[in-house]
Amino acid sequence: MTTTNGSNEAIPTLQLLDPQGNRVTTRGTKGYRDRAAALTAEDLRGMYRDMVLTRRFDDEATSLQRQGELALFAPARGQEAAQVGSAHALRPQDYVFPSYREHGVLHVRGLDPVDRLRFFRGSDHGGWNPTEHNTSVYTIVIGAHTLHATGYAMGVQRDGTPHDKNDGTAVITYFGDGATSQGDVNEAMIYAAVNDAPVVFFLQNNQWAISEPTSRQTKIPLYKRGEAFGLPSLRVDGNDVLAVYAATQEALERARTGQGPSFIEAFTYRMGAHTTSDDPTRYRTSEQEEQWRRRDPIDRLAALLRAEGALDADFDAEIKAEGDELGAQLRDGVRALDGGSAVASTFDDVYATPHGVVAAERAWYEAYEAGDPPASQYAIADSAQGGAR
């Protein structure tokens, strides 16, 4: 498959499943086709279930925000294949650094759906313990987490983790096209490249950095950014779950076996708004949106499953029932969240061991909340450090 940029230049793009749900045989893709062919019917049904439930999560969260139950939400509609396909290639020991839109990745990693909305409710600064699922919390500062991912990957190296495609450890970090303009992302790729860090840079190019199209961010295809830093780089059809899975599996195995970092550009489309505070009708056309609706990643996989006899009315009904259960869980769980613990939790995990200054700052804040603050938080901190600040 090839796509074009603004100048109609052909851009090679890995595709294994076309928009009509047909498997694609293209010269030079046999290695990827073999990886996709190893997926069983149950594997594909599992991916389909995860994509449908991710969209239900997305729709329910958007509705909750419209009802005033969430302060904000960043929808992922249209990006389910990029997220679910890549997440299915991960192993439990791999570590994930998401941005703020990776709801499908978090679903596959097994995070509680209500916990995923604590941040958007304002009841928590993160929402979950990263060590429980080897998945970091949402990152709102654009691109900052790519440095965290690279640093963690360098730590994996220094821990002496074995180089093995199954038992080794890889790190993956997700970010959008707008983040490629941030210095942090470019610095992260420099460090990753020169240190051969076991990290995969997974770019979801949904073509819009809020209202800025990709054409106003770059004059070359974004996967070439990775090539510029010496990273093996590939562009895939981000609405093709098979291509995403195969490309990510290859890159993760490269990382686990000590062959260094990789860069994947999943070319997709954000079918909804950037966040619930955004109005995309102000900067893009309904014709463009309809064009991409015809490339819906869920419909594409459904067509394949039906053609191969793996999707019937009973399975559809089963997933719908799971979606209804998920919706009820979200509505009840989010409304029951306490909105008052967020600030105090800031002090919980600053250091791995108890720290006098942090304890003093917590004491000052708790006294402040109680209506009886000390004269100065710094006086408490000075006391904790023996008078020296």
Strand (E) positions, 60-156? 95-97
Which one-letter amino acid corresponds to residue 291? Q
Which among 103, 256, 274, 295 is annotated as catalytic? 274
Contacts 24+ apart (CB under 8 A), 348-356: 356/381, 356/384, 356/385
Pairwise CA distance, residues 41 & 317, whole Å:
18
Pairwise CA distance, residues 384 & 372, whole Å:
19
DSSP 8-state code for residue 17 = B
Pairwise CA distance, residues 108 & 106, whole Å:
5
45 catalytic per annotation? no
Output the CA torsion sign for 136, 222, 209, 281: negative
Which among 118, 270, 295, 300 is annotated as catalytic? 270
Ramachandran region, residue 317 (left: φ > 0; alpha: ψ -120 to 50; beta: rest): alpha
CA 304 to chain centre: 25
Pairwise CA distance, residues 6 & 347, whole Å:
48
Q: Which residues of 248-281 are buried (b: 16+ CB within 10 A; e: fewer)?
A: bbbbbbbbbbeebbbbbbbbbbbbbbbbbebebe
Bridge partners of 3, per DSSP, are 11
Q: For the beta carbon of residue 217, count every other beta carbon within 10 angstroms.
A: 17
33 catalytic per annotation? no
Which strand (E) or helix (H) includes residue 10?
strand 10-12
Which among 283, 294, 368, 389 is annotated as catalytic? 283
133 catalytic per annotation? no
Decide: 32 and 16 in contact? Cβ < 8 Å.
yes
Q: If you count them, how many residues does the chain have? A: 389
Residues labelled as active-site residues: 270, 274, 283
